[in-house]
A and B are shown apart, each in its own frame.
Chain A
Amino acid sequence: MSSLIELREIFFQECEEQLEDLTDGLNALDAAPEDADPDQINSMFRAVHSIKGGAASFSLDAIAEFAHEYEAILDELRSGKLVITREILAVFYRAADHLADLISCGAAGTDPDPDALTRQISEIESLSGTGLKPAQTDDFLAAFVPLAMGAEGPAPADVGMKIPHFDITFAPTAELYANGHEPAHLFRELESFGPLKVNVELDINAAWDQSDPAVTWHLNLATDRPENEIREIFEFAEPYANFQILCSQRANPVLPHPMAAADDMAAVETVADTDQLGSGETESPIVILPNQTSKPHAPRKSTVRVDLDQVDELINLVGELVITQSVMSQSLTEHSGVVSRKVAATLDDFKSLTRTIQEGIMAIRAQSVKPLFQRMARIVRETAQVAGKEVRFNVEGEDTEVDRIMIERLVDSLTHILRNAVDHGVETGPHRVQAGKEEAGSITLSAAHRSGRVVIEVTDDGAGVRRDKVLASAIAKGLIPKTAQLSDGEIDRLLFMPGFSTVEAVTNLSGRGVGMDVVNSEIRRLGGRVAIISSPGEGTTISISLPLTLAVLDGMIVDVGDESLVVPISTIVETIRPDASKIHQIGPSSRMIAARDMMVPIIELGQVFGYEGRSAPPNGHILIVVEDEKGEHFALAVDQIRDQRQVVIKSLESNYGHVPFVAAATILGDGQIALIIDLDEITHGISSTTSASGTHKRAYA
């Protein structure tokens, strides 16, 4: 089934899961140190324990050694010898990080930093209340400690030397057999120590239905092995027998083996070949049936590992299936006018099946953001440590599931945002106290599904964006003209401009050559957007909004001029056929509509896309009220709504680069190509011209 190399891979995969469990436990402890849940501690212990076991099996000594130390201290915590404090917790966190480092070194096949290992080990050991014995390490690394099973081959018996003899009396109870023991096996082990004489004594007077075997073994073993090794062989069997060892220091020469001289006991039978001893049993607890070949096969595994490319290929194919299905539905309706009820029902089934398959396949790719968030927790810890700030890190919605490609591609961006938050967002302790805040800063990383998208936010309770500084810096760098009048939101958005950096001396933490502009473009590449919401003195939120998947979209197909466009359903609030009286002309080119007690600006989609010459008269328009990511409402004027369906996203970027106001394209059922509108880009163009007053706190780049 699997090779050792594959097993190694599985081991490292499993390590990831265990590190997750460990971090979960630490977080739980962090949240409520005083009433630690024993189950949680146990599961932390188990995680480290399993890592240790696996690592040792693959000779990953550094991991095994460190995990061993960690486990030992967790054991003290478990048994209550160690009481958790903030300081201890910090060491635990660092140890978890170090363990993760060791594991990634192991996975990469590189050598871990020996100094760090020593340092971390001594840090852990310093916690121990009982004092860990380093000897334990060697102890557990001893490959195999045979107890009931004896060890190597026979000990060399030096003929003529004074070898001690042991007289062993062993009278088993029925329990012995019931616990899986077999006298013959035990004796064979003994025999590996040296020549063994075996006599068996049967009590012929015992009642036939007595449950205990009426048998006593008398053994004589000549060996120079110490008595405790002999006892070890019987270690597990001893409770189920009357067992005695007498060491006689008789200076007997080693008896030839096998030997048959009977002692003065009532020897009924003398057997030298211990292999035959099994016949002495009075019961036969195990009956091996002859038809054992028909045993069931190994249980099925609960997970399958699939190549990501294969999943992607499937997603692509299912996308084509969705298109084909809609082409078929459409052409059936068109050709026969009315489709028979049966065909219609089948078509419906087909449609919902296709959809279910699609969702199922998307779900395979979905992954919870938890591992990502845990990685980020570490970033925050380390950054805070270097920056000398105390930061509390909170996580919300870590079970939110996101396409795994997005998770992978979010790592760098989130890392950067969080480093920024620690470095530039949260103030230093004294500054915070001065500002009347708690000394420790707080950073929250959250994920949630919101109106068909995934929103990931990083919120700090720092000083907020220093707009004066940002503005000055942008002017100094020549990014904006001196005379520029910018709204607060626009100033905040300057942070996303290429080549911008607020702190003069770039620290080695956040300023690693990656600016927020890189974050911005990376998120955009995922079909997402970054927003910044900041209030002076209160903090900053960086909000990333991402599509659930990169493959499909629920869209409303609308006609504008002679073209078809797709409006993402997730953005639509309502559709209205407006009363002319409710449309108000504001200025020469903008109009508003009163919808639900709100004045909503109207956007002529035809105008935006340059179709206006072909547009129908405005009064005949249908308005689609949409909400953009800032939560602002706009009414898109279109000629006609065709239908609502799931469309397969085909990116234009690889062929055309970025097309303004267009997110992507799709192929409709009739083979026609329709553009999917980029609502935020459209509304942003509008709002920056209508809201120059600077009331917008949010600004999307």
Chain B
Amino acid sequence: MSISILTIDDSRTMRDLLRLTLEEAGFFVTTAEDGADGVQKLTDANPDVIITDINMPVMDGFEFIETVRGSGRNASVPILVLSTENSAELKDRARTVGATGWIVKPFNDTRLVSAIRRVARL
């Protein structure tokens, strides 16, 4: 059974790139355009790992993580932040709202995949 990933990024390029990379690695990928879209797709995607951007319109990554952590069935899914940012301040905030890890963009394919395999609870 393949690992299911929900990726959230407002950039179409990023979404497609993630999909390509992750599908090649044999993951099952669902993409969402912003936090709100991600929340909506959460139940159907039933992800093993969530990868989210921070800076997004409508609902940003922080708010998204908070929402997921406060939700029912998927509340404790590992959530990795994928961001070009790398400041301690933002990471602090991410941690406070419940992120499981932080990956800096641009990502390296194999490392991203291994990072996912490491946090996925399978």
Contact = CB atoms under 8 A, between A and B. Distances in A.
Interface in B27-78: 28-32, 41, 44-46, 48, 55-57, 69, 75-78
Contact of B106 (A139, A143, A286): A143
A143 B107 contact: yes
B17 interface: yes
Contacts of A286: 48, 76-77, 121
A243 to B, nearest CB: 13
Interface string A40-76: 0001011001101110110000000000000000000
A140 interface: yes
Nearest to A39: B57
A149 B118 contact: yes
Contact of A236 (B20, B30, B57, B102): B102
B10 A182 contact: no
B104 interface: yes
A142 B104 contact: yes
A236 B99 contact: yes
A299 B16 CA distance: 12
Interface in B60-103: 69, 75-79, 84, 86, 91, 94-96, 98-103
A181 B118 CA distance: 10
Contact of B107 (A52, A144, A147): A144
Interface residues of B, number: 56
A430 interface: no
B11 A178 contact: no
Given A189-B118, A299-B30, A57 B100 contact: no
Given A49-B84, A292-B46, 15 more contacts: A1-B23, A2-B16, A7-B16, A11-B13, A56-B84, A57-B106, A144-B107, A145-B103, A148-B102, A148-B119, A149-B103, A178-B76, A179-B98, A185-B118, A238-B95
Most buried by B among A139, A189, A295: A295
A673 B15 CA distance: 53
Contacts of A142: 104
Most buried by B among A7, A149, A150, A177: A149
Given A149-B118, A180-B98, A293-B1, A144 B104 contact: yes
Contacts of B76: 177-180, 285-286
Interface residues on A, range: 35 or more
29 contacts: A1-B16, A1-B20, A7-B16, A7-B17, A7-B20, A14-B11, A43-B57, A46-B10, A50-B11, A50-B13, A56-B105, A57-B17, A57-B106, A57-B107, A144-B104, A146-B115, A147-B101, A149-B114, A150-B118, A181-B78, A181-B100, A182-B121, A189-B118, A285-B76, A286-B76, A286-B77, A288-B121, A295-B28, A298-B31
Contacts, number: 159
Contacts of B16: 1-2, 7, 10
B118 A140 contact: no
Nearest to B37: A299
Nearest to A281: B121
A4 interface: yes
Given A46-B57, A178-B76, A295 B45 contact: yes
Given A52-B84, A149-B103, A14 B12 contact: yes
B12 A10 contact: yes
Contact of B101 (A148, A293, A296): A148
Interface in A123-173: 139-140, 142-150
A193 to B, nearest CB: 14
A236 B90 CA distance: 12
Contacts of B115: 146, 149
A298 B118 CA distance: 24
B1 A149 contact: no
Contact of A46 (B55, B99, B104, B105): B55
A177 B98 CA distance: 10
A7 B21 CA distance: 11
B111 A146 contact: yes
Interface in A376-423: none
